Structure formats: C-alpha cells, structure tokens
Amino acid sequence: MPGKLKAKIVAGRHLPVMDRASDLTDAFVEVKFGNTTFKTDVCHKSLNPQWNSEWFKFEVDDEDLQDEPLQITVLDHDTYSANDAIGKVYIDIDPLLCTEAASVISGWFPIYDTIHGIRGEINVLVKVELFNDLNRFRQSSCGVKFFCTTSIPRCYRAAMVHGFVEELVVNEDPEYQWIDRIRTPRASNEARQRLISLMSGELQRKIGLKVLEMGGNAVVGYLQCFDLEGESGLVVRAIGTACTLDKVSSGSAPNTNTHVHPNTAPASNACNSPSKDGKEPVFGEDLPSSSGPPTPFRALPTSSSSPPPFSPSKPCSRQSSSSDTDLSLTPKTVEPKPVRCRPGIFLCPSSPTLSTDTLSLPGSGSVGCGHGLSSAPRATTPPPPSSIHSDCALLRKSVSFTEDLLLAASGMGSGGSAGKEAGPLKTLLRQHTQTALEQREFPFFTLTSFPPGFLVHVGGVVSARSVKLLDRIHNPDEPETRDAWWEEIRQEIKSHAKALGCHAVVGYSESTSICEEVCILSASGTAAILNPRYMREGCLDIGSTDHRFEDPSPPSCGFCHIPYDELNMPFPAQLTYCYHCRRQKVPDVLFTTIDLPSEAAVTGKGCLIQARLCRLKKKAQGEVNATAISNLLPFMEYELHTQLMNKLKLRNMNALFGLHIQISVGENMLLGLASATGVYLTALPAPGGIQIAGKTPGDLSNEHHILTIQKRINDTIAKNKELYQINPPELTEEGLGSPIPEPRQRSRLFRSHSESSDELSELDLSHGKKDAFVLEIDDTDAVEDIHSLLTDAPPPTGFYSCNTEIMPGIYNWTSGIQMFTSVRVFRLSNANLTNQGLNKIFTDLCENLLKSFYFKLRSMIPCCLCHLNFTVAVPEEELIQVAVTAVAMTFDKDQAQEKPAEKPINKGSSENEEQLQFPLELCADVSSANTQPSSKVSGTVSLLTPAAKLCQNQLVMIHLPGVPESTNVSSRAASVDYGSFADRCSTWLELLRLKAHTIRRGSVKTSRRTQSLAHSVSSLERCSPLPEGRSRSLRSSRSFGGSSVTVVKMTPLSFLPGIRIIKYLGIINMFFIRETTSLREEGGVSGFLHSFIAEVFAMVRAHVAALGGNAVVSYSMKECVLMENPNKNQAQCLINVSGDAVICVRETDQEPTASMTNIGQTCCSANDGAT
C-alpha cells in the first residue's frame, strides 16, 4: 500500500527567454504526482533560476508509484495573463522501486516541450521510501526487475526460466477524443505522452504481478509496443520472459532471493526447497505423474489439400482476458511432484488440451492455411470445412503461413533416429520436457541467446500472421478482442512448433502493422527443444546427477540436429549426418530467429542477408481490403523466402540467424522486408551452387544469355567464398554414409512447372557440387529476379554487417562503438508503378542506405555494423519509410579469424557438467573468465584507433610530461562522470586550443582521409581529466559552475566491448511526441526529424545519467511515426525508445568506483530498514 515519494527541485539553467521585454524569464515549477501538485516559488528574472525547493512529499500507493510518472512542469509566471508553460519532464520512478537498482534519481533533465523541443534543463532530486506490502491480494509488483536485453543479463545468473508473460492494455487515444478539436496541439500531445507513460507503467505493473505469481523476480527480453489504432484506441502491449535471477556479485553473497518482496519469498522458497534439499529425484519420479499428452512428434500431411490438423481446434484457456483478471491466466508449469505450492493460485489446470471452440470469440475464427510442403506453395489451401465460417460482421480470415516455406528450408532432425545408446533415456527425457512445457499455455521465450546447454535442438522458424479489421471491434475500450487475437496467433505458433517436433518457441516476437482500419498481426519465433532443467522449479541445484540423460551431442553442433522424426518429416528436406559429430541428422539449411549460439562452430564470417519485396494492391475498404491483403500474404512470404534462400546460396552459406520478416501494409501496397545474418555452420552440409535453367531449349541467343548469367553467378559465389572466408574442410561424403537416396526435389523453387529438367544436364555448369540449386528462367520476371539477386553489393573492404548481436566469426572487438539511427523516406512519384519497378526502388533504397552507412563510418574501418535493425512503413500512399538503428563496432583485424582459444566456459569439471550447471558457471564467467580474452586485447592505448592514438599521445605529451602513461590509462576507465565540468573542459580545451593553432585557415590542408576530428574526439572522451591546478583552467571554469557532464554510451547490443556491466539500473522506456508548425524554418522534414532524434538521444542520456548510469544497452527505437504536411508547413513525429540503463566499468578496472559501492550500501540499508 504505501510509499513516500519525495522530490526536490534544485535549479534550472539555460531557460528560454519568455519575456521579450526584459529578455528574461520568471520561472517556477509544478511538481505533480497522481492528483497532488506542489509548486515552487517564482524565481524572478533569471534564465538560470535557483529554486532550491523543500522536499515535496507524496504519500501514495505503490500501485500508483508503478503506474504514474512524476510530472514536472516548468512555467513562466505572468501576473496578468495565464502562465506560459516552458516545458515538461516526465520521470519514471520505477527504477527506484527496485531495491537493487538506483536509490536516487538526481541530475539535469532536459525540459521538453512538444512544440519547441528541448528548452533548457532542470535539476531534480527524487527519492522513494517504500514500505513493503504484505497483502497477498495487492495489485502492485514493486521489485520485479525488467530488462530489454534478450539474454540473461550479465552480472546475473538465471536460477530459473519460468516462461512467457504477456499483457495488453487499451485506452482511448487522446488524439481522437472529441476534446481534441478544441484543445491546442500542445495539450493534445501532452495528454498523449502522459497517457502512454501511464499505460506503460500499468502494463509493467501487471506483467510484474504475473511474474510474481509464477515465482519469478524478473522479466528478461521485455518487449513493449504501441499500436496506434486510431479511432478504435491506443494499445500498449508487452511480452517478455519471466525468470528468477540471482545477482552475481563479486565478493558478496550472491543470494538475492531475499530482495524479493516478502510475500513472494515463501512461494519461491516453496518451489526451491526440494532442490535445496538436494534429494530431489530426477526424472524417474517425474515421469509417471506427467499429465500432458506426450505426443512428441506430429506428422504433417504432405498434401496441400488436407486441412491442417491443428488449426481448427485450439486450446484456448484464456477467453476473457481483461487485464485485471490475469493472475489466473498464466498457467504455471505445474510441478509434477506433489509439492506444496500455493494452492488456489493456479486457476488454470495444467492440461493444455482444454480446447474451446473459437466460435464463441467474435473475430477470432482462424483459417489456418497450412500449405502442403512439397507442392507449389502458391496453391492456396481452401479453408478446411471444419474452420469457422460464421458470418459475423468481422473478418475472420487469418492467414497463417509459415511452416511449409520456412520450414522447408529449415530444420530438422531429432536425434531419435540416430540415438544409439541413450535412446530410451532420451525419449523419456524428451517426453518429460515436452510435458513440462506443454503444461504451460505458451512455451515461448523472448530470449534470443541462451546460456550454454539451454538450447538442445532447433527446428526452424515458425510464424503466423493474421489480418484483422479494427473498426469491427465490439468493445474497443476493452482488451478482450485484442487478447483473443493474439491468443489465436500464439496458439498457431505453438501448433507449428509442435509440428516440427518441438515443444518450445525461442526468439519469439510479435508485431503489428496498421493502415487505416486494417491491422496485420504477426508473430514469429524459432521452434526448439530446450533442456528441461531450466524450466523446472528447483532443478538447478541437483546438478550433476542428471547429466547422463543429457544429449551426448557436442555443444557446437547439437542445436542443429533435427528435433523431429526422420520418418515423419513435416516437410521434405534433405538430411545428412552432422558434419561435425557424424552421429545425428542435420538439415541442409537452417533458419532461425535467434542469435547464433556462442558455442556453435562456424566457418568463415557471416553477413547480412536481406530479402525485399513490394506488392501493389488495389485500394479498397474494409473486408474487401482485408481479404486482398490476406490473399497476398502467402505469396509475399514465399517470395521473401525464395529470395533469402537464393541469396544464402549465393553467399555459399547454409544457415540464417536473427531472421526477422516484417510485412508492412499501406493503402496501395504491401512491403516485405526480411533481414537475417547468414553464416556457414560447420555442422551443416555445404550448400550447392545455383544453376540457371532456360525454358526454351534450342534458342541460341537465349542459351548464351543463360550461360553468361550462370557464369556471373558462379563468379559471385566464388568471390563471396573468399570474401567471407568460407573454407570448410572438405569431407569425404562416403565417410558420412548419409542415407540420402531420394533425388533432390528440384521443383521446389521452380518458378513454373512447365517442362524443365530435361536440358539441365546440358547446362550443368554448376558448381561441381552434386545438388546445385536450380533457377529457371522462363519469363522476364525471372530474369529480373536473378538480376536483383546479383545487384546486392557486398560491403566495402573492411566492413562487415549483420543483424544479430555480434558478427559470427569476429571475436576480438575493440572499444570503438558508434550507435546510430537513420531514417529515410522515399516518395514514389510515378503513378503507374509495376511490382517490378517497385521492387527495384525498394531494393535500391535499402542498398543505398547501407552504402551510406559504410561511407559515413569509413573512418572506423575495420568495423562491423551489428544489430542492423530495419523497420519499414508506408506512412502515406506514395511514401516508403525505412528506419534503421544499428551500432558500428571496431575490431582488431589481425586476429579477426581466430576464436579466442580459451573459451569462457571451461572451468574444470567434465564437459557434461559444464553444460548442466550453467547458471553457476555462467555467473562466474561473466565476472571473470569471460573478460579475459578481450582484456588482453584492450591493453592500454591499443584500445584506440590509430588516429585516436596519435591524439592521445599528443595529450599525454602535452599535459603530462611527468605522469606515466599508465596512470592516464587507468583514470581513463569508465569513471565517466567527470566530476566537474571545469576539469573536463579545461583539459579538452587546452588540447583543443593547441590543436586549433594549426587549424587557422590555410595553415592546414584538409586531408582526404578526414575524420580524424571525430576520432580524436572519441579518444578525448576516454581521457579523463588530468590533474587540475592550472590557473587558467580554474579561471575559465568559473562561468560554468560545478556541473557535471556525463558521457553516456548507447548500444542496441546487450554488452559493450571491453567494458563490464556492473549494475543494471532499470529499464528506460520513453515516449515522445514532437510537433511543429514551422517545418520550413526547422530545415524541412529532415531537419525536423534530425533534431528530434538528437533530442531523444539527449533525453535518454540525461535520464540514464540521473539514475547514476553511464550507458544504455539493448537500446532500440520501437516506433518512429512521422506525419508531415509540407503545404501547411506542419509535421508531427512520435518516437518510442527503450533500453536498459547500466553502470559499467572498463574491464581493466577491477573495482567499481567508490560512489558505486555507496549506492549498493544504501540499497542494502534501505532494504533492511524496510523489512
């Protein structure tokens, strides 16, 4: 129930001039939380007011603490007229509610106005005194930690991974309320910002409740999204993976279970106790009691006409999911053992087979179009008769595509076939796992990388899409309908996974694309078999007794082995024995949505592979429109898949990681963009080449043409092999004894089924490999396609790119990073565009964007663009918008090919044990061993790029004649807060001034390799202040006061190279709206968006710095909606960003700074006091 929030307004600086007459401002501040408002005194006639207010105290429910932001409004006092607002600051106080995170928020926050942008800054102090709530029926969930990071955060270990949590809240969009007609744009924007802030808070709280319910204490891979549905409302939804995390602290006791709120503590104890006793029997006891139907392998019919077996009836345990009743809704993994676990809390029975006819849910009927796999995927399956055809006004057609196409390429092999000695045990294990997982409603995990041993097998990508009409929602203000929609999709995903013989889905994500009243819901993930021990409660500590059940497959290839039965393959695929262990079957190609497992064996380097596609569609309304879209979707997926496959072959690779397919809907077109990182997995067979086949034999010119193309393709493949250093060890195929008798089904990717095949032998120029991939040219489309295949330019020398966290094949990152966001909007002026023309435009747009990045970042060579995240949208009829966020990281070229010899995992004990006991090992790794290899690289100056090195030497030379360099290096560390600006300023200035002497015009000839400026700066940033005491610097500091400036690093990755994260401070989730009525004056749309993005960065940095952090990891821009009306000189933009605020230190530094320790101590003491 209670908590006391205290806020103090200290000062402001650089406020805008609000009174033209005096060129000054009479500023005061309103501090609002919930319905309580306090005001400071007016500070007359100052642009740098010092309020130094008292502590404003708010006594509130912890529920409110979680939902509401602290709202600070800076106003200009006006005696006669209304006070003018200068701007606002919203502070999310959630990080203060978690005992382990920040203890105080203190810092300069940019004052933000939706019309004018940032207008000065305000210094605020915020603290929270929380009294623990022991009420078991409470609605708050303080203390649950949230992470955007999609892996187990460094400096934690996962005691248990509970599973999927999701939540969705709906509200009316203020922009569409009647009042919006009379209020100002500013008021409307602010209402929206505030509402979304509130909704995010509420959402987090509710998710937190679910997590506590499951016995967890954290959400990892938290993904929150907004759907701006327009008239029908504003939806904020989130998914994540509930975990129990233990903090790994170097030195102090790692047991942090006590930090969890008391009422959850007993629960988790209950769960854990059996294991702690150490006498938990392993599988033997579990098995008999397992209740779920253990149907591990499901055969998919191979003919396209038969109805998919899974779609019509779905387990639907959540019909009414109004978000308040959700406690009951997440079924827990029911412990098969008769453990005394809170009875009555699990309202949901364990069996997932509670199937409900979906008819009862309006709009949720789904027509699963399970396509037969071997046949031409175009043949759309007629809706099975059993599917629901009731004619409610709703569009009920949902297109689910996936299995066939994606899987066709992906996946495979359960060890079942190959399993020798461990056969029966394995089956038992499998069954057990299956049951454990099947008992959950959705065995989904938003994580994309896993502790070693977690992932047993990977099946392939599963995805589902569904088209919905927003204007047909009966009760738009309630979440039921949307809940049902997502429920439906998740069920579909689940059944797809099952069809692949997998019991879980990892790397799971959900997204929407909305245009007018049509909404495409998408979900995708990777079907996988997981090691059960991380799912079961209390399984962790039993450890080694279990390992004999473990899959004997080595970690570097085990995940590639097919998870399903060879005899009942869900689709035709070519299986071979694993090229690595030779014991089990692997598919020829593997597609996944996860990151490359760190233990996987890879040959050469990876690269970004994109498939791009545009499809025109007629403009239409309502149901017709929705039908048109759903009819197009399968073809788009197919085309995208074909493109990916071809490009993969062209690069001589055999697996895709981080696959993300986005389909975006516009009024007159659909855009599809698939991005993934291609790699050559050593365990998988070498891909064959690509072979071109002509349609009409005898036509000489045509044949010649084909020969030329074939040659080009072969050349490209050869070039790519070299480029990505793919030199797999040649294997004698015989030795494998692979039973692949059936001829390759070449027709699979044929563009048509006309004649073909006969002339293949003549034209066989192929790559020497027996099974080349055949592309037939039978019309101009095909020619175009092949051309476009070849147009993708490889990145320039020195560059690599990938969309996964790190580049497979590069292991020695240096510390140079540059995070960036880029947005491009392209206007199609040509009214009569063809699909081909559009495709070309779209492809060029993406390619040019990449080229721009390479060019801009050329000074960082050798470097790799990591986590390239493309988002496409069709904001208006003739516009295509592409937004990209990525990070460029430098690496050491010389050692780029070698994997660090000592793998961090190796810590004594047998191999099996290692895998099994990952959590313990993991923590140890992260803190110590893991850092070893890279810290070697990151010695002293070697961290810096050559230019920077030069500059640093200069600095040392100039300023520190007497100080040994090593001192400098250590002080450079990550003590990023430079104390007083004066110091920092003076050092830099000294150097800069010196440098500037030479910059006088004419005296310096600008070199061609120019970016040394940026370089020297980045190195300067690392040089922390030098001993002060020079009279001049002291003097010049006077005018700036003692303010501190913090350099905050940002990265979309979960880590920073060469830097160790020592503390997670909480999630950053911010939503901003910016509007302008003077677009031209602000430099057009580009100028407007540029400054807005820069402002968003600045605000994120400020908030992180105020929490005491110095970096943001897992940063992402979830939403960037730009609306413009150049004729009216107006534009509006919404941006949503999120990430994890962290404190990090250089790996060379052993101990965190003193202040850090203090924070820790205060945390502890606060906790003690509270309990």
Interaction residues for other proteins, span 82-111 (CB under 8 A): 108, 110
Please give the span between the terminal C-alpha atoms of the chain, in angstroms, as a whole number.
Answer: 14
- Residue 661 C-beta: closest distance to other proteins, Å: 25
- Judged by beta carbon, residue 618 or residue 1038, the one nearer other proteins is 1038
- Judged by beta carbon, residue 728 or residue 1084, the one nearer other proteins is 1084
- Judged by beta carbon, residue 258 or residue 1010, the one nearer other proteins is 1010
| CB atoms inside a 10 Å sphere around CB 513 | 23
Footprint of other proteins on residues 1122-1151 (CB under 8 A)?
Answer: 1122
Q: Long-range CB contacts (< 8 A, 24+ apart) of 624-627?
A: 625/518, 626/395, 626/397, 626/467, 626/468, 626/469, 626/518, 627/395, 627/397
- Judged by beta carbon, residue 18 or residue 470, the one nearer other proteins is 18
Nearest-CA neighbor of 505 among 570, 465, 458, 451?
Answer: 458
**What is the rounded distance in angstroms from the CA atom of residue 521 to the CA atom of residue 482?**
10
Cβ(1103)–Cβ(1068) below 8 Å: yes
Structure tokens at 745: 């089904």
Footprint of other proteins on residues 488-547 (CB under 8 A)?
Answer: none
Footprint of other proteins on residues 9-48 (CB under 8 A)?
Answer: 13-14
**What is the rounded distance in angstroms from the CA atom of residue 520 to the CA atom of residue 625?**
12
Among 1091, 1129, 1153, 1167, the residue binding other proteins under the rule CB under 8 A is 1091
- Residue 190 C-beta: closest distance to other proteins, Å: 21
- Judged by beta carbon, residue 423 or residue 796, the one nearer other proteins is 796
- Residue 1006 C-beta: closest distance to other proteins, Å: 5
- Residue 632 C-beta: closest distance to other proteins, Å: 23
Residue in the structure block whose two tokens are 């382990």:
100
- Judged by beta carbon, residue 5 or residue 884, the one nearer other proteins is 884
Cβ(381)–Cβ(372) below 8 Å: yes
**What is the rounded distance in angstroms from the CA atom of residue 184 to the CA atom of residue 181?**
8
Binding mask 235-264 for other proteins (x = CB under 8 A): ------------------------------
Q: Which residues are registered as beta bridge partners of 591?
A: 656
Contacting range for other proteins; rule: CB under 8 A; set: 276-284, 313-321, 756-764, 977-985: 977-985
Half-sphere exposure in the Cβ direction for 852 (13 Å, CA):
12
Burial class of residue 647 in the structure, from the number of CB atoms within 10 Å of its CB (0-12 exposed, 13-18 middle, 19+ buried): buried
Footprint of other proteins on residues 1026-1045 (CB under 8 A)?
Answer: 1035-1036, 1038-1040, 1043, 1045
**What is the rounded distance in angstroms from the CA atom of residue 584 to the CA atom of residue 559?**
11
- Judged by beta carbon, residue 761 or residue 1007, the one nearer other proteins is 1007
**What is the rounded distance in angstroms from the CA atom of residue 36 to the CA atom of residue 41?**
17
Q: Classify residue 861 by its DSSP letter.
A: -
- Residue 860 C-beta: closest distance to other proteins, Å: 9
- Judged by beta carbon, residue 351 or residue 822, the one nearer other proteins is 822
Footprint of other proteins on residues 751-810 (CB under 8 A)?
Answer: 793, 796-797
Footprint of other proteins on residues 113-142 (CB under 8 A)?
Answer: 121
- Judged by beta carbon, residue 519 or residue 888, the one nearer other proteins is 888
Nearest-CA neighbor of 631 among 864, 461, 378, 807?
Answer: 378
> Residue 1048 contacts by C-beta under 8 Å, 6 or more apart in sequence?
976, 1100, 1101, 1104, 1105, 1109, 1110, 1111, 1112
- Residue 1010 C-beta: closest distance to other proteins, Å: 4
Applying CB under 8 A, does 1094 fall inside the site for other proteins? yes
- Judged by beta carbon, residue 98 or residue 1105, the one nearer other proteins is 1105
- Residue 595 C-beta: closest distance to other proteins, Å: 22
Q: What are phi and psi of 1095, to 5 degrees?
A: -65, -40
- Residue 16 C-beta: closest distance to other proteins, Å: 12
Residue in the structure block whose two tokens are 């760190």:
598
**What is the rounded distance in angstroms from the CA atom of residue 50 to the CA atom of residue 54?**
12
**What is the rounded distance in angstroms from the CA atom of residue 456 to the CA atom of residue 478?**
40
Footprint of other proteins on residues 393-432 (CB under 8 A)?
Answer: none
Contacting range for other proteins; rule: CB under 8 A; set: 195-203, 801-809, 1066-1074, 1092-1100: 1092-1100
Cα torsion angle, 436, 594, 682, 741, sign? positive
- Judged by beta carbon, residue 707 or residue 1013, the one nearer other proteins is 1013
Cβ(961)–Cβ(1084) below 8 Å: no
Contacting range for other proteins; rule: CB under 8 A; set: 190-198, 349-357, 582-590, 1046-1054: 1046-1054
Residue in the structure block whose two tokens are 């599973």:
163
- Residue 601 C-beta: closest distance to other proteins, Å: 32
Cβ(401)–Cβ(377) below 8 Å: no
What Å distances lie between residue 544 and 553, 557, 1072, 1141, CA to CA? 17, 22, 51, 36
Binding mask 981-1020 for other proteins (x = CB under 8 A): x--xx--xx--xxxxxx-xxx----xxxxxxxxx-xxx-x
- Residue 813 C-beta: closest distance to other proteins, Å: 17
Encoded amino acid at 783, one letter: V
- Judged by beta carbon, residue 761 or residue 829, the one nearer other proteins is 829
Applying CB under 8 A, does 945 fall inside the site for other proteins? no
Footprint of other proteins on residues 865-904 (CB under 8 A)?
Answer: 879, 881
- Judged by beta carbon, residue 635 or residue 820, the one nearer other proteins is 820
Residue in the structure block whose two tokens are 């000294």:
990
- Judged by beta carbon, residue 618 or residue 1005, the one nearer other proteins is 1005
Binding mask 461-480 for other proteins (x = CB under 8 A): --------------------
- Residue 1048 C-beta: closest distance to other proteins, Å: 7
- Residue 785 C-beta: closest distance to other proteins, Å: 21
Applying CB under 8 A, does 1072 fall inside the site for other proteins? no
- Residue 1041 C-beta: closest distance to other proteins, Å: 9
Q: What is the largest CA-CA distance in the chain?
A: 93
- Residue 798 C-beta: closest distance to other proteins, Å: 9
- Residue 1082 C-beta: closest distance to other proteins, Å: 10
Footprint of other proteins on residues 800-859 (CB under 8 A)?
Answer: 818-830, 841, 848, 851-859
| Nearest-10 crossing angle of helices 981-999, 946-959 | 110
3-state DSSP assignment of residue 272:
helix
Cα torsion angle, 91, 1099, 1060, 933, sign? positive
- Residue 267 C-beta: closest distance to other proteins, Å: 41
Binding mask 340-379 for other proteins (x = CB under 8 A): ----------------------------------------
Among 655, 1099, 1135, 1137, the residue binding other proteins under the rule CB under 8 A is 1099
Contacting range for other proteins; rule: CB under 8 A; set: 80-88, 204-212, 555-563, 1077-1085: 1077-1085
Nearest-CA neighbor of 402 among 689, 659, 111, 85?
Answer: 659
Query: Binding residues for other proteins, how many (CB under 8 A)?
Result: 90
- Residue 1088 C-beta: closest distance to other proteins, Å: 9
Among 1102, 1141, 1142, 1144, the residue binding other proteins under the rule CB under 8 A is 1102
- Judged by beta carbon, residue 389 or residue 993, the one nearer other proteins is 993
Nearest-CA neighbor of 340 among 288, 291, 267, 265?
Answer: 267
Cβ(1033)–Cβ(982) below 8 Å: yes
